[in-house]
Amino acid sequence: MSALADRLAETDARIADAIRDAGRDPSEITRIVVTKFHPVEMVRELVGLGVRDVGENRHQEAQAKAAELADVALRWHFVGQLQSKKARQVRRYAVAVHSLDRGSLVDALAEADAGGPVLDGFLQLNLTDDLGRGGVGPDDVEALAERILAAPGLRLRGVMAVAPLDEEPRRAFARVRAASERLRHLEPSATAISAGMSEDFREAVLEGATHLRIGTAITGKRPQSR
Ligand SMILES: *Cc1c(COP(=O)(O)O)cnc(C)c1O
């Protein structure tokens, strides 16, 4: 087995352990491999290992990889901060945007709806006090959710969050679960929780995450900036 295959298998085993310990059903959980900074050849190797959900956080890189892999039935998840002016292009390849963090972006994605497939959207929560981080605070969840629900061509799947570095992840994810419950009062079908990365996916699964965004634990260290 290649090192990549090893890491994928080991990570999936750890995910399975967490699911079992949480008493949850494996079919509730989607494991997205975040391949940012890694070459398209790695994505192809992952496809050979059965991976179908991949995540990217920069539009240009995602667009180029999706074009090169147009022959493969992959689901591209956009997980990074997104400029509204890129909305139209992102809709051409992404099945989901996990980083809906403001009304103007929601509107731009809706306007870019060209009658293609519905785009899945996750409302990004900011779990820190730093307004510069992506996402909305607890008080703004309902307003942004209403905007997404009103947007043609978008389906609100649920919430997304990144655990702060200075907080115990389980505590942070408990707040995400609470926000998810509030959102479900507004829209009962918006049950998804995109949370959990390489260092904290176990805690995320224990707090109800449905979409794990895992990079380095599977891909290995990212090549430095380029
Ligand atoms: C890079 C990234 C991930 C994956 O991070 P790892 O720590 O490598 O698992 C998950 N979510 C987002 C939003 C990211 O940018």
Give pLDDT tens digits for 112-171.
Answer: 988 889 999 999 999 998 888 889 998 999 999 999 999 999 999 999 999 999 999 999
For residue 36 and ligand 1, the question of a CB distance below 6 A is answered with: yes
Mean pLDDT of the chain: 96
Dump pLDDT digits (tens) for 91-129: 999 999 999 999 999 999 999 988 889 999 999 999 998
CA-closest residue to ligand 1 atom 6: 215
Query: Which atom belonging to ligand 1 lies closest to the Cα atom of 197?
Result: 9
Query: Which atom belonging to ligand 1 lies closest to the Cα atom of 219?
Result: 8
* Cβ–Cβ under 8 Å, residues 82 and 99: yes
Q: What is the pLDDT of residue 1?
A: 78
In angstroms, rounded to a whole number, what is the distance separating the alpha carbons of residues 23 and 155?
28
Q: Of 114, 157, 112, 164, whose CA–CA distance to 135 is shortest?
A: 164
Whose tokens are 């969050």? That residue is 161
Whose tokens are 């981080």? That residue is 133
For residue 213 and ligand 1, the question of a CB distance below 6 A is answered with: yes
* Cβ–Cβ under 8 Å, residues 193 and 180: yes
Q: What is the pLDDT of residue 174?
A: 98
Phi-psi region of 148 (alpha: psi -120 to 50; beta: other; left: phi over 0): alpha
* Cβ–Cβ under 8 Å, residues 169 and 163: yes
In angstroms, rounded to a whole number, what is the distance separating the alpha carbons of residues 2 and 66?
24
Q: What is the pLDDT of residue 225?
A: 53
Mutation choice for ligand 1 from 33, 34, 78, 221, CB with most ligand atoms inside 8 A: 34
Rounded to the nearest angstrom, the distance between the alpha carbon of 70 and the centre of ligand 1 is 23
